[in-house]
Amino acid sequence: AHVREGVCIGLAELINATTKDLLTMYLDDLIPAIQQAIIDDVESVRSSASLVVALLYNAVGPRATSDIVTWLLAQLMESDVEEHGHLFLNGLEQLVAKQPGAVLPLVLKQLSKKPEDGWTVTQVRGLSVLSVVPDGHTFHRHLSDTLPIIFAAAAEGDEELQ
């Protein structure tokens, strides 16, 4: 875990010392490593990875955050996510806490779409991750987007969703 966290710290230092053009050129190479770190089973690694994502956002714009959040959300929507779903949710929670303005719209856009086969537990849990937003005002502005979904999922009668 210390090595993986050290890699994230090293990436953070690299991002701080590198030009936007160079980071943009290597962004496709950086993103897979960050994706793996953001779903690490050790919280300090996830926290360091979310800092790297925030630094990349500041350095090159929204693409890094968008790519990673979109990937996390796609993993949450997979049918076999139950075994490792908590790791994706933990990673998403870290990103929401560090970058609510960039991450909230992406999460709401993706998770508020009702799948053809009904709401999934992981999807509802993904929406519950939004409660970690450090700015309560930001979260409250989105309650009207999330509460109907949670109520609808609970009304479907699936005991696991309730």
- Give dist(CA 18, CA 122) in Å, integer: 37
Segment 21-32, tens digit of pLDDT: 999 999 999 999
- Give dist(CA 156, CA 84) in Å, integer: 24
pTM above 0.85, yes or no: no
Segment 44-69, tens digit of pLDDT: 999 999 999 999 999 999 999 999 99
pLDDT of res. 22 = 95
Three-class secondary structure of residue 19 per DSSP: coil
pLDDT at 137 over 60: no
52, 1 contact by CB (below 8 A) = no
Instruction: Indicate the residue type of 53.
Output: V
Per the listing, tokens 């970058």 go with 99
Segment 84-105, tens digit of pLDDT: 778 888 999 999 889 988 888 8
∠ CA 108-111-116, nearest 5°, is 140
